[in-house]
């Protein structure tokens, strides 16, 4: 099995498990899974979030997902309990498909090490 096939198989397995739990019968895509990771990393449980909070949740998730790759480093929690990260290294210029592959790999790593 090639690396690409292994990634695809692992992604589908994780996507299915998360969709079964949170998808209300629909298959969740990368953005929705990133959002859920942000909610998890915030650690305040699920509640209604404002639009700007949803964007911040996705940012938290991306930082957490890319932290093992050396792009981000956790800095501190603010007074409201929101985590903040420092950018260690500029992200490489990637095409949309390459960004998706990187995020899928990072999500797989996140759940394998959770």
Q: List pLDDT tens digits, range 12-30.
A: 999 999 999 999 989 999 9
Reading the block at residue 25, the tokens are 């019968």
Give the pLDDT band (50/70/90) at residue 4. Answer: confident
CA distances from 72 to 5, 20, 55, 85, 88 (A): 28, 30, 17, 6, 5
Please give the Cα distance from 50 to 100 (Å, whole number).
25
* Domain spans in the chain, listed from the N-terminal domain onward: 3-112
| Overall average pLDDT of the 70-81 stretch | 96
């Amino acid at each position: 099995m090639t690396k690409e096939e292994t990634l695809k198989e692992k992604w589908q397995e994780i996507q299915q498990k998360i969709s079964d739990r949170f998808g209300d019968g629909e298959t969740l895509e990368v953005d929705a899974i990133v959002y859920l990771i942000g909610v998890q990393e915030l650690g305040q449980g699920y509640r209604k979030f404002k639009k700007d909070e949803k964007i911040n949740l996705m940012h938290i998730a991306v930082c957490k997902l890319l932290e093992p790759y050396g792009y981000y480093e956790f800095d501190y929690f603010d007074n409201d309990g929101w985590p903040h990260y420092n950018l260690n290294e500029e992200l490489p210029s990637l095409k949309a498909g390459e960004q998706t592959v990187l995020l899928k790999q990072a999500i797989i790593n996140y759940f394998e090490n959770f």
